Amino acid sequence: MQVRGLCGVRAGSGMHLRELSACGVRRQYMYLRNLRGTRLEHGGDIYGNKNIELDFSVNLSPIGPPQKVCRLLAEEDWTEILSSYPDPTYRELRQALSQKMDFPEDWILCGNGASELLMAAEILFYQLDREKGFALTEDILERTDGLKRLAGTKEESMLFLCNPNNPVGKCVEPALLKQIADYCKANHIFLVVDECYLDLLPDAGRRTMKHALPANPYLIIVNAFTKVYALPGIRLGYLMTSNDELRIKTRMQQPEWSVSMFAQKAGIAALSSRGYLEEARQAVQAERGYICAQLQELGMKVFDGEAPFVMFLSGKELYEPLKEKGILIRKCDGIRGIRDRSEGEDHYYRVGIRSHEENVRLMKAIREVPD
């Protein structure tokens, strides 16, 4: 099975079916994503906006990278490392992940960012309901454009769930997620759960699906160092599955040495950073509460969520005025299912959570934008 290319998967409030032909096998995929048939603009384009001082368009740990990783960059002697090929099977990194996750290291496959581990294709949409806050509900099991459709096909099928989703930040309730996983297993549907933001939530242990991996060969969990450890520049992601055949076939699709030596060492250093995740979680919760309260005070409609970012509805245009002030936020109007044509001049935006000082500066800048 060919599985690679995750870019944009976490961009949505809708479910998607997609079909492709690879190695002569026709496959169907369904996952949380919102596109208008083209690639959705990603956040973080500070290179095309040279005046940006604060980038709220990306969603990273608000406390920055672990100090162990920063010290590694400053203190390591890179002469021999730069002139040597990386370990193609990243043994030490898999060992560190295995100890952290308490799973066999053979279940872990790493890649040059989570985006390398999955594949994009044509998409059919399963739309989440705006009136329900873009939360996934049990109707996915019965609607003919949902899991019922995948179960009715004789073709290989795959369901993608983002937990929490993006740009809204809603989590799938654990009981429903278990029900979906059981349904997928019974109907031979591969279930891919994207948990790239989950470790920044205080109840991540209750919401993760890692406990279900041993008994479910149809379950795949995708994660990355990008969001949780604020390391988008090193491009390091991984998937976990107990399905040996799937993991081997996925590995065969990857180029050799897809994980650089620096990424391997940085990943090991991040995993050994004691206390980092707890500090990051506390910062997310405190600053998320601050941003939500401030936006509501300004008359914005804030959507309920748990992730390290906030989506809100504004009655005034903010993107260009804030960019002129050196602040970049994420526009969400173009995401399928987000904007209703009846909403007139209102605009949807998403902001990541940064340090308190930076969040205060963002709120001040929003207040200064004229109505």
Tens-digit pLDDT profile for residues 10-20 = 333 334 333 32
pLDDT in tens, 110-128: 998 887 776 546 455 677 8
- pLDDT the model gives residue 119: 58
Q: How far is CA 153 from the centre of its chain?
A: 28
Q: pTM for the full model?
A: 0.85
Whole-number percent of the chain with pLDDT over 90: 61
- pLDDT the model gives residue 42: 54
Question: For residue 34, with 0-12 CB atoms within 10 Å meaning exposed, 13-18 middle and 19 or more buried, which class applies?
Answer: buried
Is 14-37+67-271 a domain of CATH 3.40.640.10?
Answer: yes
Bigger pLDDT: 7 or 323? Answer: 323
Break the chain into its structural domains and give their ranges: 14-37+67-271, 54-65+276-368
- In the chain, which ranges are E strands? 14-22, 25-32, 54-55, 108-111, 122-127, 156-162, 189-194, 219-224, 237-240, 301-302, 309-314, 327-328, 330-331, 347-352
Is 54-65+276-368 a domain of CATH 3.20.19.10?
Answer: no
Rounded mean pLDDT, 244-260: 88
